[in-house]
Amino acid sequence: MKQLSIFFIAFIFFLVIAAPVHAVVNIIDQGGDVFIGEQGLDISAAAGNSTQIAWFASGKDPSADIPDSILNVGDSGNFYIAPMNFVGKTGTWYRWNGANQGPAFIVVDPSIEIMVRDQTSQKDVTGKSVPNGSIENFRVESNLYSITNRAGYNATTDGQVTIRVRNSDGAVYTELFQDTTISIPLTALNLDSPLYYWVSTAPLAGASTPYAGWNTGVHDAQGARMYKYGVYTAWAECNVNGMKDNYKAPNGADYTGKTVSAVRTITIALDPVRIEASRDSVVRGNPISVTITSRPGTSYYLWVEGTGQMSGTPTDMPPVLVPTQSGVATDPVGGPYTIGSYQYGGLSGPTIRDDVPAAPSDGVCYYAQITTSASGTRTVGWLTSQDTRVMQYTFRVESEEDGQYSGDEVDVLVEKGTVTVAAGDQVYSKGEDVGISGVNSEATDTTYLFITGPDLPAAGGTLTDPHSAVVDGIGSSFTRAVVEEDNTWEYMWETANLSIDAGTYTIYAVSTPNSLDNLSSTESASVSVIIRNPATSFFVPLGDGWNLFSTPVSLDPDNSGLDRIFNESEQGKIAVVLGWNGYWFIPDASYDLVPLQALFIKAHGQAVACLVPSSDLTTPPVRSLPAGVSLISAAAPYEDGSFTVLPVSQALVSINETSGGKTGYSMVISPALNQPGWGYARGGPTVDVLPFKGYWVIMENADTLYGFSTTPLGT
């Protein structure tokens, strides 16, 4: 018996000695966190005397409602947070014996993420290139930090997270070197907060390196590089109590984002370089600059990438280098092409000269070799012009050393400029000066002007002599306006003594001397203006919403269509136009408006119609009205500079009685649509019929309606 007791004591001592040093990480206090996938947990304190635990879905009352899930505890000293039981059931689990006995533990879905942080810049460099010799750190974000709150957790021995770093050859490091003799472990890391840094982010005082961390340029005792150029992958993982082994993704792989982080990369590059443009887009004719940033005194090749298919002839050129810039070297015209012979992207690849146009100047204006300044930067200027093709360009910077390539690129969009033109209120009397202005941001110093309209040349005429045709491509045949430095231009069109009729004219502003037949290849804009006879042009306002609209007089044939009555800016305010001819119809833009007719027009905001009376001799207007309902207007006489307002009985006297002695109209209705609303029965109290408005008339018998207006109008 004595020997047996000694043996038993020795066996117990062996178990204690042989027990894993991390065993205390499995002890869960009441209310403590547990993570899906953990096994071998001691939940004795958490479960208490309860043989079951229960979970309630969100929104339920654990003190009153029935649990959504109940599990047997079994061996409370060896409990498993099995994914099949706990996925989707995170949160507090309660002690249960048929009723809630208080919280047992909190089930947490693990999460972990990692990024690479540069110690010098204090910026995230995940997925990026870093220079040889940079000091790197790892930042881990995770909810696994609560494991450190477990009873007996030892921060020195019980670290729950490991960072894995693998080089391009597949070797995985368990430590990384800060200098030749000091290494920093990547295993058993004590993740004690939601945001964890592998090493301190503060500078080191008096150390050989300015920061602690992974020195990407460190050499071993024999002077060999420990970390070669190339791509390195890094990830973080946690397998506390077997959670990584037990908690797998649906495809059976380690669960990314749960027990292992996504794999991140960092590239140790040969003096990584950055290129930035002064702007993302530029209107051609304006300059561009790109700034290269790298180590001081470093040389790089710079060119306009992927433009070799362009001809380099006018309108098909990339941007060109500003001549004679400090720190910018170019090949001489005619060669030798030392710089242009650089093979980019590989020793067997094409040369820079293969990648740019051959004209002009043998293509040497599209590439250079630059050297960074003492501050590590170099700004290089480029020019665009009207000959620069409109497209997106890529400026590429690159260098090579010992078979290692370092480069960067930036895109800049070269856009067409814009041309605009405006002409004040767009309605003028003959003899008035018309102020024309606009913007021309194209790469030209001149805006070319021409005009079209009644009886003028089809391709356009000059503004000084509208009947004199412009000639496509001949700038001197156009009216011209100087473009100022702010891209604006102005021109005063003097209409006095011009042999043009009243009507609607269109003025074109063009960035190049192109006539109306050839505007597709240039930037242009146009504006319509109405030239009226001094005494007879009428502006009729239409109110917001529905209106009844008409003309009291015959209109000029070239200006009687709706597309002439409402100019371009006013047309945008017209939402709906309806006519009535015994049925509703929609007039098209060329519909001719005549007296005694009327239209329903719906406007957004106030619109203005311009009515230009005919200058021809015309008789009073006539219209046949059928029995039933018709939509009409008045055609009152023009006297003393305005149209007369007539009583309804006088305006409609011609349809009071038919030639056969029968009753003509019986009722007239004025809808209250931006005009006085009333209903008139024949013989009732008199009301007025207004010019420019419209009215419903009910005819008992067909008759002929006559108006009173004639043209030309008197002054």
Q: Based on the domain organization, do 212 and 242 belong to the same domain?
A: yes
In-domain check, residue 122: yes
Measured CA to CA, the distance from residue 57 to residue 66 in angstroms comes to: 10
What CATH code is carried by the domain that includes residue 439?
2.60.40.10
pLDDT at 21 over 80: no
For 309-352, what is each residue's pLDDT tens digit?
Answer: 999 998 899 999 999 999 999 999 999 999 999 998 766 679 99
Mean pLDDT of the region 686-696: 95
**Per-residue DSSP letters for 621-687?**
PEEEE-SEEEEE---PPEETTEEPPEEHHHHTGGGSB-TTS-B-EEEEEE--SSS--EEEETTSS--
Q: How confident is the model at residue 7 (pLDDT cuts 50, 70, 90)?
A: very low
Residue 402: the pLDDT is: 56
Residue 238: the pLDDT is: 97
Measured CA distances, 136 to 198, 218, 466, 678 (Å): 10, 12, 74, 86
Q: Based on the domain organization, do 184 and 215 belong to the same domain?
A: yes
Q: How confident is the model at residue 534 (pLDDT cuts 50, 70, 90)?
A: low
Q: Based on the domain organization, do 320 and 299 belong to the same domain?
A: yes
Q: Based on the domain organization, do 505 and 524 belong to the same domain?
A: yes
In-domain check, residue 1: no
How many contiguous H segments (helices) and E segments (strands) does the chain have? 7, 50
Residue 624: the pLDDT is: 95
For 476-480, which contacts have Cβ atoms below 8 Å and span 24 or more sequence positions? 477/513, 478/448, 478/449, 478/450, 478/510, 478/513, 479/448, 479/449, 479/450, 480/446, 480/447, 480/448, 480/449
Residue 223: the pLDDT is: 83
pLDDT at 16 over 50: no
SS3 90: coil
Q: How confident is the model at residue 2 (pLDDT cuts 50, 70, 90)?
A: very low
Could you list the beta-strand ranges (E) of 514-606: 524-532, 538-542, 545-549, 574-580, 584-585, 599-603
Measured CA to CA, the distance from residue 347 to residue 581 in angstroms comes to: 81
In-domain check, residue 20: no
Measured CA to CA, the distance from residue 670 to residue 687 in angstroms comes to: 10
Residue 148: the pLDDT is: 94
Q: Based on the domain organization, do 117 and 104 belong to the same domain?
A: no
Q: Based on the domain organization, do 116 and 97 belong to the same domain?
A: no
Measured CA to CA, the distance from residue 532 to residue 539 in angstroms comes to: 11
Q: Based on the domain organization, do 304 and 441 belong to the same domain?
A: no
Mean pLDDT of the region 237-262: 97
**Closest by CA position to 42, among listed 152, 134, 137:** 152
Measured CA distances, 338 to 299, 325, 342, 359 (Å): 14, 18, 7, 18
Lowest mean pLDDT among 393-407, 473-487, 696-710: 393-407
Q: How confident is the model at residue 401 (pLDDT cuts 50, 70, 90)?
A: low
Amino acid at position 217, single letter = G
Q: Based on the domain organization, do 328 and 365 belong to the same domain?
A: yes
The domain boundary residue, chosen from 269, 288, 314: 269
Bridge partners (DSSP) of residue 406 are 399
Q: How confident is the model at residue 536 (pLDDT cuts 50, 70, 90)?
A: low
In-domain check, residue 388: yes
For 561-589, what is each residue's pLDDT tens digit?
Answer: 999 899 888 899 999 999 999 999 999 98
Neighbouring CB atoms inside 10 A of 642's CB total 10
Measured CA to CA, the distance from residue 549 to residue 684 in angstroms comes to: 25
Measured CA to CA, the distance from residue 708 to residue 715 in angstroms comes to: 17
Measured CA to CA, the distance from residue 34 to residue 45 in angstroms comes to: 13
Residue 420: the pLDDT is: 93
pTM above 0.75, yes or no: no
For 351-397, what is each residue's pLDDT tens digit?
Answer: 999 999 999 999 999 999 999 998 889 999 999 988 899 999 999 99
Residue 690: the pLDDT is: 95
Measured CA to CA, the distance from residue 333 to residue 331 in angstroms comes to: 7
Measured CA to CA, the distance from residue 25 to residue 117 in angstroms comes to: 30
Mean pLDDT of the region 422-449: 86
The domain boundary residue, chosen from 269, 303, 332: 269
Q: How confident is the model at residue 210 (pLDDT cuts 50, 70, 90)?
A: confident
Q: Based on the domain organization, do 634 and 705 belong to the same domain?
A: yes
Q: Which two tokens stand for residue 470?
A: 């412009």
pLDDT at 535 over 70: no
Residue 4: the pLDDT is: 34
Residue 679: the pLDDT is: 94
Q: Based on the domain organization, do 290 and 265 belong to the same domain?
A: no
**Closest by CA position to 508, among listed 488, 491, 526, 523:** 526
Amino acid at position 194, single letter = P
Q: How far is CA 692 from the centre of its chain?
A: 47
For 622-646, what is each residue's pLDDT tens digit?
Answer: 999 999 999 999 999 998 778 999 9
Report whether 300 contacts 397 (CB < 8 A): yes
Report whether 189 contacts 234 (CB < 8 A): no
For 503-530, what is each residue's pLDDT tens digit?
Answer: 889 999 999 999 999 998 788 999 999 8
Domain that holds residue 34: 25-108
For 279-310, what is each residue's pLDDT tens digit?
Answer: 999 998 889 999 999 877 889 999 999 999 99
In-domain check, residue 304: yes
Report whether 483 contacts 513 (CB < 8 A): no
Q: How confident is the model at residue 157 (pLDDT cuts 50, 70, 90)?
A: confident
Report whether 236 contacts 114 (CB < 8 A): yes
Do the strands 665-670 and 695-699 form a parallel or antiparallel pair, or are they unpaired?
antiparallel
**Per-residue DSSP letters for 325-370?**
-TTEE-PPTT---TTTT-BTTSTTS-BGGGGS---SGGGGGGEEEE
**Closest by CA position to 229, among listed 120, 133, 294, 132:** 132
Give the total residue count for the chain.
Answer: 715
DSSP structural state of residue 206: S
Measured CA to CA, the distance from residue 375 to residue 296 in angstroms comes to: 6
Bridge partners (DSSP) of residue 407 are 398
In-domain check, residue 513: yes
pLDDT at 447 over 70: yes
Q: How far apart are the first and last CA of the chain?
A: 142
**Closest by CA position to 150, among listed 109, 191, 110:** 191
Q: Based on the domain organization, do 133 and 246 belong to the same domain?
A: yes
Which residues, at least 6 apart from 342, have a Cβ–Cβ distance to it below 8 Å?
Answer: 301, 351, 352, 398
The domain boundary residue, chosen from 508, 532, 556: 532
Q: How confident is the model at residue 14 (pLDDT cuts 50, 70, 90)?
A: very low
SS3 281: strand
Q: Based on the domain organization, do 191 and 253 belong to the same domain?
A: yes
Q: How many domains does the chain have?
A: 5
Q: What percent of the chain has pLDDT over 70?
A: 95
For 78-125, what is each residue's pLDDT tens digit?
Answer: 999 999 999 999 999 999 999 999 999 999 999 999 999 999 889 999
For 218-235, what is each residue's pLDDT tens digit?
Answer: 989 988 889 988 899 999
What CATH code is carried by the domain that includes residue 302?
2.60.40
Task: Look over the chain and give the mean of its residue pLDDT values, rounded to a whole number.
Answer: 91
Lowest mean pLDDT among 128-137, 571-580, 673-682: 128-137
